[in-house]
Amino acid sequence: MGKHTPGKWKAVYEIDVANEGWIVKSDARPYVASVLWGAIASETEANARLIAAAPDLLAAISEIIEYAEQYLDLCDGDHPACEASIEMARNAIRKATGEAE
């Protein structure tokens, strides 16, 4: 699987001759995704903003995993909650990058 579209993503409400609604753009591409209108307009906007935040969330969670693993290496003892959180984060990254089905 390839990498995601680079650049900062943003959710934008646009109206053109064919469509009206929320789209996600990046610095590299004028169109990354569109969010179809649902029954609740605020939900549609929230979905677009969540999609736009995906690259930032992926980068942040990757760094958090690195620091959490360093923490576990430094301390003695069993930390099942921290280990479970790290695994949950790893699973989310695998899902985002297409490594998990």
In a domain, 1, yes or no: no
32, part of any domain: yes
In a domain, 37, yes or no: yes
Question: Does residue 64 sit within a domain?
Answer: yes
pLDDT at 1 (0 to 100): 57
Q: Is residue 3 part of a domain?
A: no
What are the distances in angstroms from CA 68 to CA 24, 44, 58, 94?
A: 31, 34, 15, 18
- Number of structural domains found in the chain: 1
Q: Which domain holds residue 77?
A: 9-97
The answer to whether position 4 is within a domain reads no
pLDDT for 28-51, tens place per residue?
A: 888 899 888 777 888 889 999 999
